[in-house]
Amino acid sequence: MIDPEGMLPVYVQVADVIAARIERGDLVPNRPIPSETALVQEFGVARGTARHAVEVLRERGLVATIPGRGTFVLPPK
Amino acid sequence: MIDPEGMLPVYVQVADVIAARIERGDLVPNRPIPSETALVQEFGVARGTARHAVEVLRERGLVATIPGRGTFVLPPK
DNA sequence: CTATATTTGTGCGTATGTATG
DNA sequence: ACATACATACGCACAAATATA
């Protein structure tokens, strides 16, 4: 699923997987994406890497993070 | 007591101290070990570190945690 | 039944150190 | 020097489970 030896950095690969789930409707607007801890377990990456992936999703305008609550899928514009 | 500059991670050091107390009979089977908050105060560590220490003790099969109740010393095998 | 206190569970924010390419 | 990635450790806030008044 995630290839540490791949062309793209691990955090981008993780971001892409989550973005694809949003695109597919697997993750829906106003609902949280998996927590950082969940991403760590699912993808087998460090927490810093999971956070970096979520940061990418924020920069893409796909999600918004509420401190202490979670990161939520934004409605499509 | 706990050496942040030591060879072992703080959470392992804390786990070792508690394990020693169980070994010595200071903490007895079917009775709770100190709460996370108590460990935080006693050892001067963050709660996450205290939780990590308890996690280690669970992995060693020394204790079992019941949500909302506490973490209890298991009877020796 | 309600309210409060305690304890564990979860979530994010941040910083530091180490290692690798 | 820099980016990537992991591990450790600090902090805060709120939710869930449990026990008790």
Q: What is the CATH number of the domain that holds A21?
A: 1.10.10.10
Structure tokens at A3: 């290839």
Domain that holds residue B42: 10-73
Note the pTM of the prediction, 2 decimals: 0.90
Within a domain: residue A15?
A: yes
The residue to which tokens 């607007």 are assigned: A29
A57: CB within 7 A of chain C nucleic strand: no
Within a domain: residue B1?
A: no
Q: Does A4 score more than 80 pLDDT?
A: no
> What is the predicted pLDDT for the residue at A14?
94
Within a domain: residue B57?
A: yes
Number of domains in chain B: 1
B49: CB within 7 A of chain D nucleic strand: yes
> What is the predicted pLDDT for the residue at B52?
97
B75: CB within 7 A of chain D nucleic strand: no
Q: Does A5 score more than 80 pLDDT?
A: no
Closest CA to A61 of A42, A48, A47, A75: A75
Q: Are B19 and B63 in contact (CB under 8 A)?
A: no
Residue segments in chain B with a per-residue pLDDT below the cut of 70: none
How does A45-57 read in b/e, with b if 16+ C-beta sit within 10 Å? beeebbbbbbebb
Amino acid at A47: R
- As a whole number of angstroms, the longest Cα–Cα distance in chain B is 35
Q: Does A35 score more than 80 pLDDT?
A: yes
Within a domain: residue A22?
A: yes
- Percent helix, strand and coil across chain A, each to the nearest 5: 45, 10, 40
Q: Which nucleotide's C1' atom has the smallest distance to the CA of A4? A: D5
Give percent of chain A above pLDDT 70.
Answer: 100
Specify the DSSP class assigned to residue A75: P
> What is the predicted pLDDT for the residue at A63?
92
A41: CB within 7 A of chain C nucleic strand: no
Within a domain: residue A49?
A: yes
Phi/psi class of residue A61: alpha, beta or left (left: φ > 0; alpha: ψ in -120 to 50)?
Answer: left
Give percent of chain A above pLDDT 90.
Answer: 75
pLDDT (tens digit per residue) in A8-31: 999 999 999 999 999 999 999 989
> What is the predicted pLDDT for the residue at B11?
98
Could you tell me the distance in Å between the CA of residue A9 and the C1' of nucleotide D3? 10
Q: Which nucleotide's C1' atom has the smallest distance to the CA of B38? A: C7
Q: Does A57 score more than 80 pLDDT?
A: yes
CA distance A59 to A50: 14
Within a domain: residue A2?
A: no
> What is the predicted pLDDT for the residue at B45?
97
Within a domain: residue B56?
A: yes
Residue B70 sits at the vertex; the CA angle it makes with B36 and B16, to the nearest 5 degrees, is 55
Within a domain: residue B63?
A: yes
